[in-house]
Structure 1
Amino acid sequence: MVSLGTERMLVEFGKANFLEKARQQPDKVKEVLQKVKTDGLRPTINAVMNKLGQPLPLGYCNVGRVIGIGKGVTDFKVGDRVVSNGPHAEYVSIPKNLVARIPDDVSDEDASFTVIGAIGLQGIRLANPTFGETFVVVGLGLIGLITAQLLKANGCRVIGFDFDQAKVDLANTFGVVGVNPSKGIDPVAFVNSVTDAVGADGVIITASNKSNEIISQAARMSRKRGRIVLIGVIGLDISRADFYEKELTFQVSCSYGPGRYDEHYEQKGQDYPLAFVRWTEKRNFEAVLHAISTGAIKVGPLITERIPLEQFDQIYGNMSNGRSIASILEYSENDEIPKRTISLVHSKIKSGSGVVGIIGAGNFTSAMILPCLKKTQARLKVISSSGGLSGTVLAKKFGVEQSTTSNQSILDDQEVDLVMVTTRHNSHANLVIQSLLADKHVFVEKPLALTNEELMRILDVYHQSGKSISVGFNRRFAPLALQMRNALGSTDTPMNIVATMNAGFIPGNSWVHDLEVGGGRIIGEACHFIDLCTYLTGSLVNSVCMNSLGENPEENTDNASILLSYENGSNAVINYFSNGHKSYSKERIEVFHQGRVLIMDNWRKLQGYGFRNFSSASSGQDKGHQIQFNRLIDSIKRGGDPIIPIDELVNTTKASFAAIESLKSKSWVSVQ
């Protein structure tokens, strides 16, 4: 089912020009201007263009049959008819808490309204209606009409307002008192009239309108201590007087219910205990299905049109007319196993010529890796993504020959020399091992591994493979880093380094902080600077001590200071902070060595003090990605030494583990 309101906003935003997009997102414009100040114009333009170029899959209401079940899933079996909030696609992969089994007496068409119905149901639960109360629904679109029916099922008297007479008439058939304000009827006066001047017990707003008049009318038509719940999108310039005098409550409803945007609930399948959270997302889905099954709500009359998938443009090409309520996309019956790889470009490739297969099609792959690889002599044969959409879009944009949803097809491809792993951190170790076992060279974005056990397994396979491992420690390849190393010379005498990362705040619920998925910010990101310090000192770390901010420092790994002791006597302090301001330089390096000082600021400026033949240098903000990939592809094609020695990769990885161990033990930890 096509949710015309939500999907129309996405489609219209996608069609808008840059100026219109900026007007719709003024907060993003401020971020862009700030980034220009700190990072420069070109990196900012590249980042913005990459963000705007990312595809957004449409749709979140679908019905189908289960064709496969993931590990640990016991609630479903192959062949079950289910509803989910996956995108419009022939095949979708959905976590188990976002899927519900359909009762036998509910048709596919009717069941496709489940997810959208849960949006209205969650708004009702927040409003907490009781039998006999009067509720107003503002906006009789798809969500509004379902919400009105659910309120009727709760024993409420329901008044609905909309400017489309056809929708008002349809609402009347459901027992709703439908009203069209364009007929000269004042909504506030009407509600006061039919409630004997008491006012509505609750108002649920499902409309989409930028006007502030809707929230004002909702307040004025409410009784004292009435409840107002917003499901739609409206202007929110609230009059304090309207709310103060009546002691009104106002709440914004979040999508389908408890669990929404909770990584643990949605992605990891960790349910909330029913005794404490009665109505979660999934249980709201099931409640809507039950209401459809019993006839408490009728969704069939809401269907405006049924369109074969191949004619999707009949819906998406004309979404601005506002007349449709619900459109159904129908898929043809197909028992064939879905194709997991599609070819976009055909060319002949010889093994051993720098043929690349990429596993992962996320933001970094789009913004940095593929643009850099396009400037090398690499042949981009295949890219893999879990959903297919992002990989296919990137394949078309950068001339990659194939897009696939099967990592194994990359590993089995005899023409692929180099596998590049750019997925989430918890998958790195296994994909590196699988790539080596498949007789491929492998490049993996940092970190190499999340645990010492993973690292040992990698090394066991590596020593038997005869293939190379590269890790995306690109900072050492930055033009200014190369100049620093050159200025310092090849002497093995000790130096002091102070490296500061103004890393920026990341919300606590991000996967980066999840130790099982992201490994935390020290292992996942500060490892960049451990490697850089190793490169500048020309030595390996032999011991580490780390301390962090706050009363419970062991719980705060994104505001930490790491002290590194090197085998050649060098010391390095890495200050990794997330509590600074965005306007300050994100990265800064200071090196003190033999009466000389180097200061690198944000990969744009380098100052030298006490050097005979060097005083300063500047660069467009370049963190070394292009040089890194140039050298990587050259090494694959020509052979020779890896771009970073394996002992340095292992030492950096172990040093990041030692930093976490030091934080817990409150002592120096040796790097073995």
Structure 2
Amino acid sequence: MKQLTQNLKTGQTTLTEVPAPQVRPGAVLIRTRRSLVSLGTERMLVEFGKANWLEKARQQPDKVRMVLDKVKSDGLQTTVRSVFNKLEQPLPLGYCNVGTVMAVGAGITDLQLGDRVASNGPHAEVVCVPRNLVAKIPDQVPDEAAAFTVIGAIGLQGIRLLDPTLGETVVVIGLGLIGLLTADLLRLNGCRVVGVDLDEAKLDIARARGIIACNPTKGDDPVNFVQNTTDGIGADGVIITASAKNNDIISQAARMSRRRGKIVLIGVVGLDLSRAEFYEKELTFQVSCSYGPGRYDDDYEQKGRDYPLPFVRWTENRNFQTILRLLASGSLDVQPLITEVVPLTEYARIYGSIGSSKAIASLLEYPEAAALEPTVRHRAVSFAGRKGVVGIIGAGNFTKMTMLPALKGADIKYIASANGLSGTALAQKHGIAHSTTDYHKILQDDEVDLVIITTRHDQHTRLTLEALKAGKHVFVEKPLAIFQDELVEIEDFFRRNTPALSLTVGFNRRFSPHAQKMKSLLGSAPMNIVTTMNAGHIPASSWVHDRTVGGGRILGEACHFIDLITFLTGSLVTDVCMNAMGQSPDETTDNASILLKYANGSTGVINYFSNGSKAYSKERVEVYSQERTLILDNFRTLKGFGFNSFSKQKIRQDKGHRDQFRILLESVKTGGEPIIPLPEILNTTRATLAAVESLQRKEWISL
């Protein structure tokens, strides 16, 4: 199928061939009929992509500071590579989609095959959208009108925050598509509406819809205009739907408001507020978040947990339904706003001149019969007779930024991703033969020897077992399991089956040249090891912190250093204790200290902290043994104290990924021994789970 994407590095808009998505539980698979181009939002993305590096930096000052911090901790080369990889990732365009239901995921009972629906799906021939972001279209609403559902909900949410009453005067600054819809909805709400814009054509549309028009380019001063219109009272409310880099608009909004008036921002403007302007009138200012309550809440959007109506009357989905009802009744008429309807294949007619376009609303029209193959071939190559052929399940940041560069030169036949786009982009960049949204293709292909799994953590155990049962060697990015019963399943598999297949977990630190050097210097005597991970803050809303999805950062990341200490000591963990910052035990804490006892008498300490400075090194390892000390700083510099023939080793940052995959592929090709002994993998996973259990029980846990 075809999908529109934007390259933020080059500014190029492309119609890309990608595999069709598979329906997911709690989601709906939709064949697109029409989609609306959001000229404001999409214009910003296109123009950002076309900007030079200096202009990009000026537009993203917060990102520049993050990059500078990363240079200090990880080095210039690593940082530049990371930034380039981020910008090269194609961005799906669009969020106003209308189509027909092709399939419904498990748990959905109120939508049927063939239903027409509106959603926030992108510009693609087929989209998979969570149920709470989908609304059924009434029969009397045509596709072209229904395509305005989502963008109409953006304006509606701004109005709900403003909460205007019958007869109030509300100013809408910026009469693009969202501004015109917002003004129209305010008029339906019984408000007197003043529209401000610099484009006379848009103001003519507003006048025809009963909106009072103000054009600063025709000599109208917006503040005086509003004061005169309201007999000196000022506006009861102001909704800003414009886009501007300076602070003039927010200042005008404050000066045209009455005392105790309200200002709501939907657009993007400078926000250097004048305290005096807001203080003297006791003004209220609020930024509106997209379609309404539920937006960016994974529990609502991805897991389908609706907010109870008596407590949250208007969610984003109920806002969608409101717009559709207004369209069905004829109260909201969007037909005059449609400038053009363009076939998907002729998208360049819209995007080629999007920066200077005078269009109000542009629609894309989709073919009735689209190719819906779940797999796309990007390179014609034969893998017959080859050993070490790879299939990758997961196309996220780790795969893109770290793994694929480390796998350079490997025979990769497939890469699977849920939405198809991320996998396709990586396949094209790295010469992978096929991208797919159906990972079963990988498991069923006899030519694939090694399956690499880099999905979200809750899928690791299930996919690992599926691949092993399909007769594949498996590399799974850590953690192997996030619950004890999952680990038991893995153990049972190897207990019942001869170890003809290898299982590797992504404990790459042990393969770093620094770790290898430390191992050669230390010998086998008992030792004390202290490691510190200055992990950095991740917002609480991230999936990583969800106990059932990510498992928490201790399970997902601290396991790296349990394995590293196991490697350095040459022993297995026997007892674990974890203490965390704060009063109450938290399964997903990311500020904790783990104590480890090893069978050979060694001890380990892992300090995993998220509250440190980003400018400080992310990882530090200290080893004390036989009156000697090794200090490893951020896998860049290793210093030795008390060694006769070693004092310092400094190389570019190397956490072992490249050597890990090189050794793994060689092992798969030759049938060699697993590159990490299975007992060590299982012991590390068991110890990590025990750390979480220890925090809950407030005691040491013996393995």
Q: What's the TM-score, normalizing by structure 1?
A: 0.98
1:54 is aligned to 2:89: yes
Amino-acid identity (%): 63
How far did residue 15 of structure 1 move? 1.8
Q: What's the offset of the Cα at 1:70? A: 1.1
Distance (whole Å) between structure 2 residues aligned to residue 326 and residue 668 of structure 1: 64
What are the Cα deviations for residues 11-41 of structure 1, in whole angstroms up to 9, with x where unaligned? 1112222222111111111111111111111
**Residue number in structure 2 paired with 1:638:** 670
1:177 and 1:139 mapped to 2: Cα distance?
A: 13
| Distance in 1 separating the partners of 2:245 and 2:540 | 32
Residue 697 of structure 2: aligned partner: 665
Residue 532 of structure 2 corresponds to 500
Alignment of 1:353-502 (within 5 A): 353-374=387-408, 376=409, 378-462=410-494, 463-464=496-497, 466-489=500-523, 491=524, 493-502=525-534
Task: Name the amino acid aligned to 2:241.
Answer: T
Could you tell me how far apart the structure 1 residues matched to 2:493 and 2:576 are? Answer: 27
Map 1:136-535; keep pairs closer than 5 Å: 136-334=171-369, 338-374=372-408, 376=409, 378-462=410-494, 463-464=496-497, 466-489=500-523, 491=524, 493-535=525-567
Distance 1:310 1:319 in 2: 16
2:504 alignment partner, SS class:
strand
Deviations 1:204-256 (A, max 9, x none): 11011112111111111111111111100111122112111111111110101
Q: Which amino acid is 2:327 matched to?
A: I
2 CA distance for matches of 1:464 and 1:14?
A: 52
> Secondary structure of the residue that 1:357 maps to in structure 2?
strand
One-letter amino acid of the structure 2 residue matched with residue 356 of structure 1:
V
Once residues 543 and 40 of structure 2 are traced to their aligned partners in structure 1, the CA distance between those partners, rounded to angstroms, is 30
Between the aligned partners of 1:295 and 1:40, the Cα distance in structure 2 is 60
Three-state SS of the structure 2 residue aligned to 1:597 is strand
2:71 paired with 1:36: yes
Q: What count of residue pairs does the alignment treat as equivalent?
A: 666
**Could you tell me whether the CA contact under 8 Å between 1:550 and 1:556 is conserved in 2?**
no
| Unpaired runs of at least 5, structure 1 | none
Q: Is the 8 A contact 2:253 2:263 kept in 1?
A: yes
Aligned match of 2:569 in 537, 551, 555? 537
Q: 2:290 aligns to what SS in structure 1?
A: coil
- Conserved 8 A contact 2:37-2:362: yes
How many angstroms apart in 1 are the aligned matches of 2:346 and 2:357?
A: 19
Determine if contact 1:81/1:102 at 8 Å carries over to the other structure. Answer: yes
Query: RMSD of the TM alignment (CA)?
Result: 1.1
Which amino acid in 1 is paired with 2:579? Answer: N
Report the more deviating stretch, 180-189 or 655-664: 180-189
Which residue in the other structure is 2:109 paired with?
A: 74
Partner Cα distance (2:114, 2:492) in 1: 42
Q: Give the Cα separation in 2 of the matches to 1:456 and 1:468.
A: 17
SS at match of 2:554: helix
User: Residues of 1 paired with 2:288 and 2:184: CA distance?
Assistant: 18
Could you tell me which amino acid in structure 2 is paired with residue 129 of structure 1? P
SS at 2:165 equivalent: coil
1:208 match: secondary structure:
coil
Distance 1:555 1:355 in 2: 38
Q: What residue identity is the alignment partner of 2:507?
A: F
Question: SS where residue 129 of structure 2 aligns?
Answer: coil
Tell me which amino acid in the other structure corresponds to 1:596: R
Shift of 1:49: 1.1
Off by >6 Å, runs of 4+ in structure 1: none
Look up the match of 2:26: none
Query: Residue 555 of structure 1: CA displacement?
Result: 5.4
Residue in structure 1 matched with residue 658 of structure 2 by the alignment: 626
Q: Specify the code of the residue in structure 2 equivalent to 1:6.
A: T
Tell me, which stretches of 5 or more residues in structure 2 are unaligned?
A: 1-35
TM-fit CA distance, 1:390: 0.9
1:474 alignment partner AA = N
1:569 lines up with 2:604 in the alignment: no
Residue from 146, 150, 156 that aligns with 1:121:
156
Report the secondary structure of 1:562's partner residue: strand
Report deviation, 1:315. 0.8
Q: Secondary structure at the match of 1:270?
A: coil
Counterpart CA distance in 2 for 1:153 and 1:654 is 62
**2:142 alignment partner, one of 104, 107, 110:** 107
**One-letter amino acid of the structure 2 residue matched with residue 63 of structure 1:** V
State which drifts further: 345-354 or 158-167.
Answer: 345-354
Give the whole-Å Cα distance in 1 for the aligned partners of 2:552 and 2:451.
25
Name the aligned partner's letter for residue 261 of structure 1: Y
- Stretch moving more, 145-154 or 613-622: 613-622
Q: Judge conservation of contact 2:155–2:178 (CA < 8 Å) in 1.
A: yes
Q: Which amino acid aligns with 1:168?
A: L
- Is this contact kept in 2: 1:149–1:296, CA < 8 A? no
Structure 1 residue aligned with 2:6: none
Residues 312 and 556 of structure 1: CA distance in aligned 2, closer, same or farther (over 3 Å):
closer
